Amino acid sequence: MAKRPTPPTTDAPPRPARKSGRPTSAKPPRPRAAKASPPPEQPAPQPEPARPADAPAADAFAFPGADQRQMLETLSMNLARAAMTAQSAIAEAALSQADRPAALSADPFHVGPAMNSVMTSLASRPDKLFAAQADLFNRYMDLWASTTRRAAGDETPAAPSKDKRFKDPAWSENPAFDIMRQSYLVTADWMNGLVSSVEDVDPLTKRRAEFFTKLLTDAFSPSNFLASNPAALKALAESNGESLVKGMQNFAADMERGAGKLKISQADYGRFEVGVNVATAPGQVVWRDELFELIQYDPATDKQRAVPLLIFPPWINKFYILDLQPENSMIRWLSGQGFTVFVCSWVNPDIDKADFGFDDYLQKGVYRCIEKALEQSTSDHINTVGYCIGGTLMGAALAHMAANGDDRVTANTFFAAQHDFAEAGDLLLFTDEHWLNEVEQQMDAAGGVLPGAAMAETFNALRANDLIWSFFVSNYLMGKDPPAFDLLFWNADQTRMPKKLHMDYLRSMYGQNRLSQGEFEIGGVRVDLSKVAIPLYFQASREDHIAPMNSVYRSARAFTGADVTLTLAGSGHIAGVVNPPSAKKYQHWTNPALPATLGEWQAQAEEHPGSWWDHWAAWLHEKSGDWVPARDPEKGPLSPIEPAPGSYVKVKS
């Protein structure tokens, strides 16, 4: 039997543990010459002393210094503060929403049936589905091959992305974030392309599926998450978590401002005040009634054209988009060109106007406003402008006037206005009967008006990356203050809409396209756009997502009895219109002809640099009569009530 090992005696020195890569002897190796006489500072064999604090192997486990400990403590506390702030805001939102009635439908946009139709179509074509899967596989193989070559130094990093979500250099310079970005873009493009490739589905159903697939893929961008956004992580590290605390404070403030619903701030609303640093063009309110204020602006020239100009803005927004700052104010610019400028400032309707419809806005709005502007200017005729939905109403009004032989309007201009809604863009997706029922429920709950925030949410969804996710990242993940931007301040200054008017607009225009088909009745007349015979000027914007250029072009061609001039501007629904010549931005196209399609018109159009305002002013001067002494709004037949911009524009929703 093997003997049990004898334990060492208690007075024997302990043997040091054997460590990899070191001599097994307790004594470190010494030169042979010194072997017989070990240095006096080396005692008899002792346990190996601990490594000095500055030894390399010990650095990895060294405790942080005081400064590092303070940074870690600050970061931990800030992360905890951010989490508590977010949790508190969400809890308060849940409580505030608890007593509210449930939505009429869990799927008000009818996305489920649309996606079911698309998936059914794909399932019926397995060859197409297999080809799509192979395409995705090949894309990923190309991505991994490129990544491997880059890791081996055989390929340079990708150029910075033109996609604004990935503008931070780390998205292309850091391999981890680069592959995250590229794999997301590959997958998102593949998903959107797959839905768009379906052929045997109703076009509107397909477009609904495309729209909401795009919303979904936009939402899942890695830039929208703290852990996968390098810019947000950098801000977090550099601020020891303060950026996230500020972001969650912004989040909580927006939840409170939305009364339990997230209402993302797009601008520093405290930096602007209507009539103080926006909407400052000088003038006077010369008429006020229950539906509008009529503003006449001060002349900027000694003489003015005999025929005044009256602008009807949309009642969905407020008119001061045309008077944000002196340098981009269309109202000031028109006054400087020698026109007498009037503006209809619509009331922000409350529940007392829930039953106001198109007839009221025609008789009590357009006609009374024209009447008072003519009285104030002592003129027999007037030129008008209709912007967006104000242009839709003005088109119907012109057809009503034509039917009644009313010739008070000499010429009319339409800014981004639609009358034929067959190609009205993605807003058509929001006129499904299921969604209209949801809108009606919202209006009933609000006493018969559509809250301003409801329309804002719809418009924001049309450009989610620009108007939702960019602010989500900046305000919440980065902890930045919203910008002091007058345009976005105006964009958030929404108005309410009467139930009768808004539902008739959605159903008659978007839903049934009755105006262009001669089936729309207003003021007791079934109006016909082809009967309008006065000169018309149409402005469309190439990148307009609310009044698409195709839709505006079809609208221009609906006025077959009129002399129509059409100009196509660069940019979108707002910047395409509000583009003063002094800015020297964008471009515009003109073509005196009006062929069958927009494509034909564009092929023959002439491009011009900069703003279209001068082109329009030349057209307007020809339609505005002789020069007369300038009109002072304080000396007209109507007594001034208060200085511009008046009171109605200051009423908040």
Find, among 362, 332, 382, 334, the residue nearest to 521 by Cα.
362
pLDDT at 99: 65
The CATH number linked to 315 is: 3.40.50.1820
CB atoms closer than 10 angstroms to residue 300: 18
For residues 217 and 83, membership in a common domain is answered with yes
Q: State the chain's mean pLDDT as an integer.
A: 89
> Span 315-339, mean pLDDT?
97
Exposed e or buried b per residue across 80-117, where buried means at least 16 C-beta atoms within 10 angstroms of its C-beta: ebbeebbeebeeebeeeeeeeeeeeeeebbbbeebbeb
pLDDT at 40: 46
Is residue 546 within 8 Å of residue 459, measured between CB atoms?
Answer: yes
For residues 409 and 545, membership in a common domain is answered with yes
Please report, for residues 409, 558, 591, the alpha-carbon distance to residue 567 in angstroms, rounded to integers and kept in the order given. Answer: 21, 16, 7
For residues 309 and 228, membership in a common domain is answered with no
pLDDT at 487: 92
For the whole model, what pTM was predicted? Answer: 0.85
Please report, for residues 145, 227, 476, the alpha-carbon distance to residue 180 in angstroms, rounded to integers and kept in the order given. Answer: 15, 12, 21
Q: Which residue has the tokens 């977090």?
A: 236
Token couple for 121: 């179509």
Residue 370 lies in a domain: yes
Q: What is the pLDDT of residues 542-577, one digit of tens each?
A: 999 999 999 999 999 999 999 999 999 999 999 999
User: Which domain covers residue 564, as residue numbers?
Assistant: 283-420+516-650
pLDDT at 65: 75
pLDDT at 8: 43
Three-state SS at 525? strand
For residues 411 and 557, membership in a common domain is answered with yes
Q: What is the pLDDT of residues 343-377, one digit of tens each?
A: 999 999 999 999 999 999 999 999 999 999 999 99
For residues 408 and 535, membership in a common domain is answered with yes
The structural domain count of the chain equals 2
Catalytic residue of the set 209, 231, 382, 388? 388
Residue 67 lies in a domain: no
For residues 408 and 528, membership in a common domain is answered with yes
Please report, for residues 110, 266, 362, 485, the alpha-carbon distance to residue 546 in angstroms, rounded to integers and kept in the order given. Answer: 21, 19, 23, 21
For residues 217 and 360, membership in a common domain is answered with no
Entry field: residues in the chain: 653
What is the sign of the dihedral through the CA atoms of 252, 253, 259 and 263? Answer: negative
Local confidence band at 653 (pLDDT 50, 70, 90 cut-offs): confident
pLDDT at 101: 59
388 is catalytic: yes
Q: Which of 223, 245, 267 is the C-terminal boundary of a domain?
A: 245
Three-state SS at 463? coil
For residues 316 and 412, membership in a common domain is answered with yes
Three-state SS at 618? helix
Residue 457 lies in a domain: no
Establish whether the linkage from the previous residue to 645 is cis, with ω within 30° of 0: yes
pLDDT at 68: 81
CA atoms of 453 and 492, how far apart (whole Å): 8
Please report, for residues 147, 217, 441, 588, 610, the alpha-carbon distance to residue 319 in angstroms, rounded to integers and kept in the order given. Answer: 52, 35, 28, 24, 24
pLDDT at 98: 66
Find, among 554, 579, 564, 567, the residue nearest to 608 by Cα.
567
The letter for the amino acid at 75 is: L
Backbone angles phi, psi at 191, to 5 degrees: -65, -45
For residues 395 and 538, membership in a common domain is answered with yes
pLDDT at 62: 53
Residue 190 lies in a domain: yes
Residue 490 lies in a domain: no
For residues 233 and 301, membership in a common domain is answered with no
CB atoms closer than 10 angstroms to residue 282: 14
Residue 60 lies in a domain: no
pLDDT reading at 34 higher than 50: no
Local confidence band at 103 (pLDDT 50, 70, 90 cut-offs): low
Q: Which of these ranges, 86-90, 145-149, 268-272, 490-494, has the smallest mean pLDDT? A: 86-90
Residue 364 lies in a domain: yes
Please report, for residues 160, 171, 227, 473, 500, the alpha-carbon distance to residue 164 in angstroms, rounded to integers and kept in the order given. Answer: 10, 11, 19, 12, 41
Q: What is the pLDDT of residues 39-48, one digit of tens each?
A: 444 444 444 4
Is residue 232 within 8 Å of residue 168, measured between CB atoms?
Answer: no
Residue 375 lies in a domain: yes
